[in-house]
Copies of this chain bind each other. A is one copy, B any other.
Amino acid sequence: MEKIAIIDLGSNTTRLIVMAYERGSCFRLIDEVSEAVRLAEGVGPNRELQPEPIRRAVNALSMFNRFCKSTAVNHVVAVGTSAIREAANQEEFWRALRAETDLDLRIITTQEEGYYGFLGTANALGLRHGVTFDTGGGSTQVVAVQDGRPTESFSVQAGVLRFTERYVNSDPISKRDLRELRAAAQQAFSGLAWLKADTGQRLAGMGGTVRTLARIDQKARNYPLDRVHAYTLTRAAIAAISEQLIQKNRREREQIPGLKRDRADVTLAGAVIIEALMDQGGFSELTVSGQGLREGLFYAHFLAPNDPPILEDPRSFSILNLARLSHFQEAHCHKVAELSLSLFDQLIPLHGYGAWERDLLAQAAMIHDIGVAVGYYDHHKHGEYLVHNSLLLGFSHRESIMLSALVRNHRKGFTDATPYAAILKPEDSTRIARLSALLRIAEYLERGKSQVVQAVRVELGPPIRILVQATGDAQLEVWDAARRSNLFRKAYNQELEILLAPSPR
């Protein structure tokens, strides 16, 4: 695999990520280093970067550059955003940088910043219609998306560090400071007529503030999944968090579960900015994207020459990504998917499920064995663990919980994902059981991994009969699938027979 490093010098944080990848096929984040450099610290109305922040930034970039060289990274993409873009004394920064390192840093325009953020988020969430935004330290980028393409772009100097320095001069914040902060935030988006929560338009947010708000909300709700990517954050939840941040002083804020120390000062300004943005567009909720600018820069490289470099089907891609990284047995997984779906289709009169469940079943079939990469024994449990901890693109939390349950249930035992009940719907327990039962039968019809079973024909009973057509000897497959059909009996409350179909020859 090749390695690419993306370096992003922001107003607040400077970050390095390293992706290992095979172009267009699969990728994995293998390193991340994050520095709270606060390059924009102390930048006043004269827009001068201060010597100490410059020194910190140069140190961090110099280390990142060494890092890339010593870990044999093949490509380095380094960009700077608003802090450096808007500095009146850019020359000073460049001089300091050049004295320390030969890193090839490029300042990107606000347009580019919005575009790459859009790329990251659109791929991460499978967003085709809607609005993405990125609230950083120095500015907020907003991009409208139609049919998977960016149609409008807007950048405004409403950043959490900038607004905090300018408006938050009291602790807890005074009424006057708060009034000015809110007015400035409202002002920032007031001209955006295209920012509208029309039908089918989702709002997707990225950046540290959004992730922090999500984490605080999850802690407050005792949310059972430890992941902010793809989390739905409501306008009401943000309001509740703002209210807390307004009333508390710094020491009290640091006690808020989910709020990291280095975010304790700047999160109120961030929340107020995001509230203003949502109110301007009339959005009642947003989806958190775990990916943004840096990942967007990665996708531009990874998916080139696609224009825009957008995954056609992020869900299927991320499942295949996971499968490929785990060296899956392709023919076997495809056959298990094929047999599962054939059973699914023929049993529609019994379960009544549609395209959504069918897709989940197909996706689960492709990754049902990935746990083997951890260890063969209990690989269904390892698979569940991996799905819980993997990057899934375009899946909601509910969907990813169901996927992990299906993978877990493809052999042995049964779980209906009870610990995650708060994320599921009450009927999902049955749904998981019914889909798992089909996956398990398909898996055992492929136990020899030799694609000996050609097709299955279902006779709706009672009892239900699955007639197995095989290209060779499939006695053991049929016998074993029959032996594992208890889950089916329970899930469908019907007797089941699995039989070899008379050979057509």
Contact = CB atoms under 8 A, between A and B. Distances in A.
A455 interface: no
A390 B372 CA distance: 11
A71 interface: yes
B66 A448 contact: yes
Contacts of A376: 28-32
A69 B451 CA distance: 11
Interface stretch (A117-125, A240-248, A309-317, A468-476): A468-476
A372 B448 contact: no
A62 B473 contact: yes
A40 to B, nearest CB: 20
A452 interface: yes
Given A70-B448, A449-B70, A59 B476 contact: yes
A62 B62 CA distance: 62
A448 B67 CA distance: 5
A374 interface: yes
A239 interface: no
A460 interface: no
A377 B385 CA distance: 14
- How many chain A residues sit at the interface, stated as a range, is 35 or more
Interface in A287-344: 329, 331-332
B67 A449 contact: yes
A131 B332 CA distance: 42
Given A66-B472, A476-B63, A386 B374 contact: yes
A66 B29 contact: no
A78 interface: no
Contacts of A236: none
Interface in A438-486: 447-452, 472-473, 475-476
Nearest to A375: B389
Contacts of A378: 389
Given A67-B448, A385-B385, A391-B375, A475 B59 contact: yes
Contacts of A70: 331, 448-451
Interface string A55-73: 0000110110011011100
Q: What 8 A-B pairs are tightest by C-beta distance, nearest first? A: A70-B450, A29-B376, A66-B450, A67-B448, A375-B389, A63-B476, A63-B448, A71-B449
Interface of A: 28-33, 35, 59-60, 62-63, 66-67, 69-71, 100, 329, 331-332, 372-378, 382, 385-386, 389-391, 447-452, 472-473, 475-476
24 contacts: A28-B376, A29-B376, A30-B372, A30-B376, A31-B449, A32-B377, A35-B476, A59-B475, A60-B476, A63-B447, A63-B473, A63-B476, A66-B448, A67-B448, A67-B450, A70-B331, A70-B448, A70-B451, A71-B329, A374-B386, A374-B390, A378-B389, A382-B389, A385-B385
